[in-house]
């Protein structure tokens, strides 16, 4: 038994948290929004690094073939299963035959579906209509208790609300870690501009447009790393997970990992501003983000444990 991808949507892909080597044809270059990937797993009691289904812009329709605990995180898509409204960052039990159908998103463009006990695919990780996603059923004692708790109401009356995630997702300002060989005038020009997201080559790059930035072309072959900001024809190109291994486009800096969650949720037409920072400032912010994430995940664990104890009493 498995999950069936009834409709594949625009780009539905089984994705790991980090980049992983895999068989030819499969690209496990990591979840674009690592926070959403981990959050969805945390909600269903999985290890945060379990694979999830990443769906972009127009998520697919998923059919469940056995009782399944699942949660989705990331973009705020409206979703339904039959007459039930299914909300982002909440835990649900789906029965055999239930379908999860996504509608419009009020914020963001990527959603991550985690399934209790884990999931995997036997073929390509790029999922098409009719494909099956295998349920691993690596259930823990906590999963068993969760099943027991959800069998009456099929959902919990709590979740991670938008306000808890405001700090991470809602600002349009992105840090850009400076390089030592780029003139300050370039950074001043970048900071002064408000850019518009022109389009995304899915999982590869975000293309921005604004006033042209002049950067001397040194002919250096730069590495293509996630978050790298390259200037092509005077406009910034922001590298995502599947970006080229290298590029000769001038590199002006790199967006730190703690701002990549909100970057990959940007849709065409969204606005972006940059604040250019030193690496030490980025590391201080990264540590603050790390502590915030730890406390959020602990709060989820605590809430889950409390609910399960309440159920037993």
Q: How far is the CB of 279 from other proteins (least distance, A)?
A: 3
Select from 107, 143, 154, 179 the one that contacts other proteins (CB under 8 A).
Answer: 179
| Interface with other proteins, residue 204, by CB under 8 A | no
Q: Which is nearer to other proteins, 69 or 177 (CB)?
A: 177
C-alpha 49/C-alpha 51 separation (Å) is 6
C-alpha 72/C-alpha 40 separation (Å) is 5
| Interface with other proteins, residue 257, by CB under 8 A | yes
| Interface with other proteins, residue 280, by CB under 8 A | yes
| Interface with other proteins, residue 177, by CB under 8 A | yes
Residue ranges in 25-54 that form contacts with other proteins under rule CB under 8 A: none
Residue ranges in 284-313 that form contacts with other proteins under rule CB under 8 A: 284, 286-287, 290
| Interface with other proteins, residue 221, by CB under 8 A | yes
Per the structure block, which two tokens stand in for 51? Answer: 């694979």
Q: Which residues contact 244 (CB under 8 A, 6 or more apart)?
A: 224
Q: Which is nearer to other proteins, 159 or 256 (CB)?
A: 256
| Interface with other proteins, residue 220, by CB under 8 A | yes
C-alpha 21/C-alpha 43 separation (Å) is 27
Q: How far is the CB of 217 from other proteins (least distance, A)?
A: 13
Q: Which is nearer to other proteins, 21 or 233 (CB)?
A: 21
**DSSP-derived secondary structure for 52-121:** EEEEESS--EEEESS-EEEEEEES-EEEEETTEEE-TTEEEEE-TT-EEEEEEESS-SEEEEEETT-EE-
Helix, strand, coil fractions of the chain, as percent rounded to 5: 25, 35, 40
Q: Which is nearer to other proteins, 40 or 229 (CB)?
A: 229
The count of residues in the chain is 313
* Stretch in the footprint of other proteins (CB under 8 A) among 87-95, 123-131, 274-282, 297-305: 274-282
Select from 161, 181, 191, 214 the one that contacts other proteins (CB under 8 A).
Answer: 181
| Interface with other proteins, residue 283, by CB under 8 A | yes
Select from 43, 255, 264, 304 the one that contacts other proteins (CB under 8 A).
Answer: 255
| Interface with other proteins, residue 218, by CB under 8 A | yes
| Interface with other proteins, residue 184, by CB under 8 A | no
| Interface with other proteins, residue 279, by CB under 8 A | yes
Backbone torsions φ then ψ of 40, nearest 5 degrees:
-60, -45
C-alpha 153/C-alpha 91 separation (Å) is 11
Q: Which residues contact 43 (CB under 8 A, 6 or more apart)?
A: 71, 73, 89, 90, 91, 114, 159, 160, 300
| Interface with other proteins, residue 275, by CB under 8 A | no
> Which residues bind to other proteins, rule: CB under 8 A?
177, 179-181, 218, 220-223, 225, 227-228, 245-246, 253-258, 279-280, 282-284, 286-287, 290
């Amino acid at each position: 038994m498995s999950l069936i991808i009834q409709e594949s949507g625009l780009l539905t892909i089984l994705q790991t948290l980090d980049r992983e080597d895999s068989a030819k044809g499969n690209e496990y270059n990591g979840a674009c929004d690592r926070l959403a990937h981990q959050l969805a797993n945390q909600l269903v009691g999985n290890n945060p690094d379990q694979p999830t289904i990443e769906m972009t812009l127009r998520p697919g329709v998923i059919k469940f073939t056995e009782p399944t605990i699942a949660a989705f995180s990331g973009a705020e898509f409206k979703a339904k299963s039959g007459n039930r409204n299914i909300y982002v960052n909440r835990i649900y039990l789906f029965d055999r035959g239930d379908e999860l159908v996504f509608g419009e998103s009020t914020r963001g463009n990527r959603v991550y579906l985690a399934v209790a006990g884990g999931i995997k695919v036997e073929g390509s990780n790029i999922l098409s209509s009719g494909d099956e996603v295998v349920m691993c059923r690596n259930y823990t004692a906590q999963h068993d208790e969760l099943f027991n708790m959800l069998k009456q109401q099929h959902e919990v009356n709590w979740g991670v609300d938008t306000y808890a995630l405001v700090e991470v997702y809602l600002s349009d300002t992105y840090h850009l870690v400076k390089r030592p060989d780029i003139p300050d005038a370039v950074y001043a020009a970048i900071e002064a501009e408000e850019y518009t997201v022109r389009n995304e080559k899915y999982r590869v790059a975000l293309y921005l447009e604004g006033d042209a930035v002049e950067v001397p072309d040194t002919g250096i072959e730069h590495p293509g790393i996630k978050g790298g900001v390259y200037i092509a024809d005077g406009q910034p190109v922001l590298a995502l997970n599947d970006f080229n291994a290298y590029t000769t486009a001038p590199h002006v800096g790199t967006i730190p990992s703690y701002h990549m969650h909100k970057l990959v949720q940007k849709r065409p037409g969204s606005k972006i501003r940059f604040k250019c920072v030193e690496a030490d400032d980025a590391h201080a912010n990264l540590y603050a983000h790390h502590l915030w994430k730890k406390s959020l995940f602990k709060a989820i664990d605590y809430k889950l444990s409390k609910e399960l104890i309440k159920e037993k009493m």
